Every structure is written in C-alpha cells, then in structure tokens.
Chains A and B, each alone.
Chain A
C-alpha cells in the first residue's frame, strides 16, 4: 500500500519524473551505442548525482541501468553488437532475424518482452521482497557452486554447430577467467608479468573485443554494398508480428521473466547469466531446437524478458541488504552513501519515500521505455543505419572510449584489440564466441565458491551434497547431463541405423 500512498506521489513529482525520463533516455542511448553499457553510463553520471536530491539521483541512475537493457537489444539485433553483456545472447537469433528483414518484429517483441519481464520483476520485487531477502541469504557458497555448474552445463548447449567446439570455447573462457591473483592463495596466475593483469581480464574488454571489435573487422572484409543491411525497412508497420510470432513469444517471455526474477537477486549472477540460462532453457524445451541461431523469435523474446526481470529484482539485495550484485549496483550504493543513506535492512523503514518512490519510478520508467522504443524506434534505427564507413569508425571509438571509461587503463585498449583479432580468427574457423563469455563469467565463480564451500565443510564434498538446496541442484544437473548424453547417443545411433538401412 505504501507504493500508492508514498511511492507514486514521490515518483510523480515533476523533478523525479524529469530525472526518471532523463535516466531511461540516456540509458537507452547508452545501451544502443555499442561499447557503452550501464556501468559506463552510471559511472559518467555519478558525479552529477552529488548535486541532486538522493531520491532523484537514485531514480535517474536506476533508469539508466534498466534503460540500457532495452537499448542494448537494439544494437544486438540490428548490428550483431551486444550493447551490454546481458544482450550478447540476443545476437544469436536477433541478428539472423534482422538479416531476414524481420528486424522490426524482433525489436517489437524485445520491447514487449522487456516490458513484461520488467513489470513481472517489479511485482515480484514488491510482493516478495522479504522472502527474496531470505532466499538470497539461504544461498551460501555450496548453493552458488551448484547453480554455477548447472549454468556451465546449460552454456554448452548454447553453442551452434559442433558441440566439441562449443565445449572447447567454454574451456577457453574458463582459462581466461583464471587470469589474475588467486583470492585463496594470493598466487599470480597467467599474468605473464603484466602488472595490469593482476586483477584479471575485465568482462567489458572480453565482451567488447569478441563481439564488438570482431564485427567491425569482419565488416571491413566484406563488400561495402552487400553490407548495406535491410535497416531502412524498420517502420512501424514492419513491427507488427504475425499471429505465429505472438503465439511463439508468449510462453518464452513468461518463462524468461520467471528465470530472471529468480536469478536477479543472487549477487554476481544478475541479468547476464539470466539471459544465457533462459536462452538455453528455450532451446531445450523447443520442439525444434535447430531453428535456434537462425532467427527463432523465442531466442529473442525469452532472454530479453529475462534480463529485464533480473535487472529489477537485482535491486532486492542492493537496497535491502546493502549488497551489490554487480559493479553497477555497487555504484548505486555509492551514490546513496554519498548522500549519507546506507542501504540495508532498515532502508525501507528509515527512508520510505526513497524506497517506494524508486519502486514506483521503475514502473513509470518501464512505460516511458515502451514509448521511447516503439514510436521512436526509427531514431535508434537511423542511428544504426548510418553507412558502415561512418558507423564502424564511430563504433570503434565508442568501444575504446567505453572500455577506457570503465577500466581507466590503456592496457585494456590493447587487450581489446587482441581479443578483437582473436574473435575474428574464431569467426573464420567457425568457433562461437558466446560460450567463451559464459565460461569466463561462471568459471571463476565455480572455482571460488567450490573452494569456499570446501573450506567451510572441512574438505568434505559429501557435506556439500547433503545440503538440501545444493544437493537438489546438483542432482538436477546430473539428471540433465544424463539426458543430454542419452539424447546424443540416441541421435548418433539413429543416424548410424539410418545409414545401415540405406
């Protein structure tokens, strides 16, 4: 009830409304521009918030945060450049749709999926706040380990084409993830004497290099005129989905929202993992998994709903526990602390106008985003339909600038180029970049949590298995693995059988 008595009046004040709009607008812009993600945009805006009232400040920063999730999908679909890491998986089917001239539909479904996901996320945030706090606390190192292993298994199914190559790429990601100081022993791993690698490789650098720079290099190689994409065709009319599209999107959007709501509050997982997992779930439940990667609408609808839902529920631990799930959330906490507000269990009691105002602003922001995205889609599209010879240099500059503002390190620009070249090589050899990213994100978490869980369990793996939640997830993972292997064997035998029959 406080939402209506305190929340909406606060959020509808002229000032807060203006900052909400500024936030989602800048967020969409930042998300649509490759190389600039939520982290960069929030970092750049942070100093401005010092001079604002704390409620307006957090409303604006939050708007930027979930606005980038919307905007990020635009670049993924139209350019195969993930605006943010959470949109990387959207490239897999969004870009093929765009190549088939179905970009308008992909963008429409994304916007609606994002809105539904975001709204469900807000409802969950609202209704289950106290419960979710307890849930995220029940997740100890053992449970994290279990869910991460599940995620890795799911990652192996994301890959297109050769499963061996996909698995190989996951391993490359795992190896890249070990670079840096080992937090258990303090040992340096794979730093090659480079001081700048002590803290490991930044996710931004890896994602931008493998997806962004690679795409630019590939574009140079292709004929300029054949590269003229079917961008101009995105009119409002082209956005109307067919009956079949609608039917295919509803369940994935709902499933994606559910997965996002569940994973959002877990520190460290957030929108990126949520989008990857929901993509692989869609591929699993689909009657015809071979459509994925070739423009399946489910592959766009589900992850986009998922990352927006996760984006909203990620605020639960941030605001109610004072625990940031990601670097961007850490900045939000920083912005509050600058104003002398410490997020935590007492926030809802001590600053009700801020807490409920923020929640109300989420909804207003999500509505604003639909308005920004559907009728104004033409503007974002025009932004991206600039001829390649102008667009790509701009994209490279933005990627470099975005990386630099996020890490403040010239070394990372060189690393970005290295990953770009590596990504191009991978593309020529038909290796998928997405599993690399998943291995890179999940690998260190698997290791860290397993070692922590083992320390806490006195080195007994059985004790980890005997924890109800962790044990169930591991059991589920094993079952899934067995099914996957069984299906693989079955299709192998079938193929063999057919050969014999022939």
Chain B
C-alpha cells in the first residue's frame, strides 16, 4: 500500500505548480490547463502560443491536458486553484454552454473565473452530404421545411449541436440531431451519408469539400472568412446576428490580483505576433488577440443565448 501512497503523493506534488506570488510576478512556471486530451485544435493552439507567452513573461508556460466532462473537469480544477496567476485555463465555447447543458456544475461560470484574453476562434462551416439535393444554404432551408433531414452532433451541448439548434430556432425548421461521441465519428457517418448535415470546423471539413465528398453551404461566423471569400455567412443570408464560433480564451480563477491579471493579459495579446498569427491561420484558426474585456463580453452574451436555446430545444434530459 505504501507504494500507492508514495506514487500518488509524488504525482500530486508535481502538480502543485510553483510558489505563491510575492515579489515580481511571475516567479515560476505557469500552468495552462487545456480541457481536451493532446492533439486537438485547442491543444495545438495552446502549444503554439505557450512558448511565446513564456518568453514575454520570462518564465515557462506548461500545457496541462485535462480532458473530460465537456471541459467541466478542467474548469473545476481551475476554479479551485490558488488565484495567484500561476494556473490558467484555455477555455472554449463549452464553457458558456455547460451551465445550461450540464445538470449541476460544482463551480459558478460567472463568479469563479476572471477573463484574461480572447486568443482565437475557429470558423464553423455548414456542410451537407452530396446526396442532399441542395446547392445553396437557402435551398437547404427550403428543403428542410418539406423533407426529413438529420444532422450529426459531437454530443449534447457541443458546438456542432448548439450551432444547428440555434439555426433551427432562427429559421423555424426541423432537423433531427444524431449524437456521436466526438466530431471524428460524426464526420465518418456524414461522409458515408448516414447523416446528412453537420456544422464542422473549417479545417477538418475543408479537405473533404475540396475532394467533392461534402457540399459547403455557409460559414457560421459573422463575417466571411479569408480562406473562403465566396462562401456566404448564415447572417447575411437572412439571419442577422447569427453567430456561432468555436472560440478559445484564457481564464483564471477569480480574485487574481489585477496587476497580475493585466500582466498576463498583455502577454497573451502580445504573443500573437505576425509570425504566430500566420502559423495559426495555417492551422485553420482565426487569431483574435482580444483582451479580457472582449472575452467577458462574449461570455456574457453566450450564457443567456445557450440557456434560452437549451430550454427551447430541450437539449438535456434533466
């Protein structure tokens, strides 16, 4: 039994990052929690900017992957960490959806976090299987009014789910949600035509669109994206204000001293140098470089939006 304790203590010890802030922040390495396992877009973005942020602050920024629970496991770890600026989280759209989608969260999304920076977002695209006899987004809406259509989600309350639900409520159409565990298996069945429609990230959908395996109908961001200048947005096609994006922002536990937060904010916004922006764009990510205020505004806007939608669409069973 001793070995178990020894191993557990050792692991726990290595997790508690650095000493508390005293003189000049930062005195030790900063831990950036990513709510996904390694390899996904959020993880890639975090690892792209971490060295630059570390360089600007004169310390190292360590990426710590804590997947699971739709991001709520990572959020809980962040909310309960010491508010000294040494523990941050790279959070995503699920952060604002979780309060509505999950039954009970052990933290308060509005009160337990402070926003540091809005790093980037990933434009979404609405794609359909070639067997759906439509060529434009308008035709899709018309078709959906008279035919049965199915769409793939990456699980309840995920970005592909909420985005289409928002469209359904705005356009007054019906499509049946077919849930998958993650975007990968959902894409398999979309490519095979078992499901017909999906809201997907530009980067993953694009190669299939180019290969002629999927039809590209619209983008979900408020403006057209530079990589797809000819693809209209949902908003300009008659649904002004329609906007869903998979955003990535930095938050920390509430009560981080303001000078520390401001210093982190500056480092995270300055880290998006033209060089890093170019790399991120190549990854299919749109660099934003927004401040904590920008992220706050986004969070404040999205929480009620998802709450209303979840209630209308009855997304959870609870």
> A-side interface residues toward B, CB under 8 Å?
43, 46-47, 50, 136-141, 181-188, 195-196, 198-199, 267-268, 317, 321-324, 327, 330-331, 333-335, 337-338, 340, 342, 344-346, 393, 396-397, 400-401, 404, 408-410, 413, 417, 448, 452, 455-456, 458
> Does B283 contact A137, Cβ atoms closer than 8 Å?
no
> Does A397 contact B157, Cβ atoms closer than 8 Å?
no
Report the Cα distance A188→B101, complex, angstroms.
Answer: 12
| Known contacts A195-B73, A195-B106, A333-B39; A393 and B283 CB within 8 A of each other | no
> Does A184 contact B179, Cβ atoms closer than 8 Å?
yes
| Known contacts A334-B38, A409-B73, A455-B178; A198 and B68 CB within 8 A of each other | yes
| Known contacts A340-B282, A342-B204, A345-B213; A186 and B156 CB within 8 A of each other | yes
Interface 0/1 of B285-302, CB less than 8 Å to A: 000000000000000000
In the complex, whether B317 has a CB less than 8 A from a CB of chain A is: yes
Interface 0/1 of B58-97, CB less than 8 Å to A: 0000001111111011001000000000000000000000
- Min Cβ gap A21→B in Å is 24
Q: Name the residue on B nearest A400 (C-beta).
A: B7
> Does B188 contact A317, Cβ atoms closer than 8 Å?
yes
In the complex, whether B260 has a CB less than 8 A from a CB of chain A is: no
- Min Cβ gap B43→A in Å is 7
**Segment at the interface with A among B139-147, B191-199, B218-226, B229-237:** B191-199
Could you show 23 A-B contacts with beta carbons less than 8 Å apart?
A: A50-B47, A137-B188, A181-B156, A183-B180, A183-B181, A186-B102, A186-B315, A188-B318, A198-B68, A321-B188, A322-B204, A323-B187, A331-B38, A337-B203, A346-B210, A346-B211, A397-B3, A397-B7, A408-B64, A408-B65, A408-B66, A409-B73, A417-B4
| Known contacts A198-B72, A345-B207, A408-B64; A183 and B39 CB within 8 A of each other | no
- Min Cβ gap A318→B in Å is 10
Q: Tell me how many residues of B have a C-beta within 8 Å of chain A.
A: 62
The 9 nearest A-B residue pairs measured at CB: A334-B39, A344-B207, A185-B317, A199-B68, A137-B192, A198-B69, A186-B156, A140-B194, A186-B316
Report the Cα distance A138→B213, complex, angstroms.
Answer: 14
Interface 0/1 of B10-41, CB less than 8 Å to A: 01100000000000000000000000011111
Interface 0/1 of B172-215, CB less than 8 Å to A: 00001011110011011101101100000001101110110100
> Does A401 contact B7, Cβ atoms closer than 8 Å?
yes
B187: A residues at CB distance < 8 A = 321-323
Partner of B207 from A50, A196, A342 at Cβ < 8 Å:
A342
Known: A322-B208, A396-B3, A404-B11. 12 other contacts (CB 8 A): A43-B37, A46-B38, A137-B191, A183-B180, A186-B318, A199-B73, A337-B283, A338-B44, A396-B4, A397-B3, A408-B67, A452-B178
Interface 0/1 of B88-122, CB less than 8 Å to A: 00000000000001110010000000000000000
In the complex, whether B155 has a CB less than 8 A from a CB of chain A is: yes
| Known contacts A184-B179, A331-B38; A324 and B184 CB within 8 A of each other | yes
> Does A334 contact B4, Cβ atoms closer than 8 Å?
no
A397: B residues at CB distance < 8 A = 3, 6-7
> Does A322 contact B207, Cβ atoms closer than 8 Å?
yes
> Does B12 contact A410, Cβ atoms closer than 8 Å?
yes
Report the Cα distance A345→B206, complex, angstroms.
Answer: 11
Report the Cα distance A77→B147, complex, angstroms.
Answer: 57
Report the Cα distance A321→B224, complex, angstroms.
Answer: 27
A321: B residues at CB distance < 8 A = 187-188, 191
> Does A327 contact B37, Cβ atoms closer than 8 Å?
yes
- Min Cβ gap B280→A in Å is 11
Interface 0/1 of B145-170, CB less than 8 Å to A: 00010100001110000000000000
A344: B residues at CB distance < 8 A = 207-208, 211
Report the Cα distance A183→B203, complex, angstroms.
Answer: 25
Report the Cα distance A456→B211, complex, angstroms.
Answer: 26
- Min Cβ gap B11→A in Å is 5
A183: B residues at CB distance < 8 A = 155-156, 179-181
- Min Cβ gap A208→B in Å is 13
| Known contacts A140-B192, A199-B67, A267-B184; A342 and B203 CB within 8 A of each other | yes
Report the Cα distance A268→B189, complex, angstroms.
Answer: 13
B192: A residues at CB distance < 8 A = 137-140
A317: B residues at CB distance < 8 A = 188
- Min Cβ gap A446→B in Å is 13
Report the Cα distance A54→B210, complex, angstroms.
Answer: 22
Report the Cα distance A50→B41, complex, angstroms.
Answer: 14
Q: Name the residue on A nearest B316 (C-beta).
A: A186
Report the Cα distance A305→B291, complex, angstroms.
Answer: 55
Partner of B178 from A136, A340, A410, A456 at Cβ < 8 Å:
A456
Partner of B4 from A331, A400, A452, A458 at Cβ < 8 Å:
A400
